[in-house]
Structure 1
Amino acid sequence: MERRRFSRVVFPTEAVVETEEGRFTARLKDLAYGGAYLFSEKKPPLGKDIFIRFFLSGLEPRIEIQFEAEVVRQGKDGFAVKLKSIDFSSLSHLRKILYYNLPDPDLAERELKALLGESLLEL
C-alpha cells in the first residue's frame, strides 16, 4: 500500500482546471503540500501537466491560489495531481490552509520544510 508523503485536509471548493485542450471546472476534495484530488467527470490523461486555480471564499479582495500539477492517478469520481510548481503567494495561502486545518500545526511546518528542503530559512 502506498504511503503518502504529505498529510491531506478536506477542502471542498470549486476549482478551474486548465489544459492544452481548454478549461473546465472541478471540485477540490482535498489538498496537501504534495498535490490534490479533484472531483470531475473530465479526467486529463495520466502524466498530463495542468494548471489549477481556486479562490478562498469569504474574503475581500478574493484570494486566489494557483499551481501547476501533473495528473498522477485517475479514480472513478475524479483524479489526483502532484504539485509541480507554485508561486510564493499561493504557497503562503496553502500553508495557512494546512496549518489551520491539520490536527497538528507543527506537522504542517515540518511537511513544508520537507517540500522545500533543508535550505529553507525561517518562514
Structure 2
Amino acid sequence: MANRERRFFSRILFDAACEIHLGDRIWPSQVQDISLHGALLTAPEDFTGQPGEGYTITIWLSDNTTQITMGATLRHRKDGFLGFECRSMDLESATHLRRLVELNLGDEAELHRELARLSDT
C-alpha cells in the first residue's frame, strides 16, 4: 500500500510540530511530510503503537493556533518514522490540508486529480 500511495499522492515536505493521541496518551512528534492521504511523523522514543492501530493526529500549522486533526491508522514503523494513513478529518482540517497541498503543488489540475483519487482509496 505504501508504494501505491507514493505514486498517487504527492508528498509535501512539511516541518511542523504534531501530537499523536490514543485515549489519554499524547506523544509529541514532528511531521516529516504530508499528503492528502496521510503523514510521515518522527517516532517518539516511548511510542509503543503497532501497525493497524488507530490514532488521532493533531498537526500545528505555522501560526500555532490553526491545526489539522485527522483520525489515522498507523501503517508502518521504520527507521525512526511512523507512516499514518488518514481515515477521517473534519471539514475545517480538510480545508487547511487541501490549501497546504495546493500551495505546495503549484498545479491546480494535479490537486484535482489527487482529490479524485481519494474516492478510489
**1:9-32 superposed Cα distances (whole Å, 9 cap, x missing partner):** 001111011013611101000001
Cα distance in 1 between the residues matched to 2:33 and 2:109: 19
| Contact kept? 1:38, 1:80, Cα under 8 Å | yes
Cα distance in 2 between the residues matched to 1:43 and 1:107: 36
Cα distance in 2 between the residues matched to 1:43 and 1:112: 32
1:53 aligns with 58
Cα distance in 2 between the residues matched to 1:11 and 1:44: 23
Confirm whether residue 114 of structure 1 aligns to residue 117 of structure 2. yes
Identity over aligned pairs, percent: 26
Name stretches of at least 5 consecutive residues in structure 2 with no aligned partner. none
What is the TM-score with the length of structure 2 in the denominator? 0.85
1:98 aligns with 101
Deviation at 1:106, TM superposition (A): 2.0
Which of residues 30, 37, 46 is equivalent to 1:27?
30
SS of 1:2's equivalent in the other structure is helix
Cα distance in 1 between the residues matched to 2:72 and 2:57: 7
Q: How does 1:47-86 map to 2 (within 5 A)?
A: 47-58=52-63, 62-86=65-89
Confirm whether residue 39 of structure 1 aligns to residue 39 of structure 2. no
Name stretches of at least 5 consecutive residues in structure 1 with no aligned partner. 118-123
Number of residues of Structure 1 aligned to a counterpart in Structure 2: 115
Deviation at 1:103, TM superposition (A): 4.6
Deviation at 1:105, TM superposition (A): 3.2
One-letter amino acid matched to 2:100: I
**1:61-118 superposed Cα distances (whole Å, 9 cap, x missing partner):** x21110000000111112101000001110000000000012533212221122146x
Task: Tell which structure's C-alpha radius of gyration is larger.
Answer: 1
More helix by share: 2
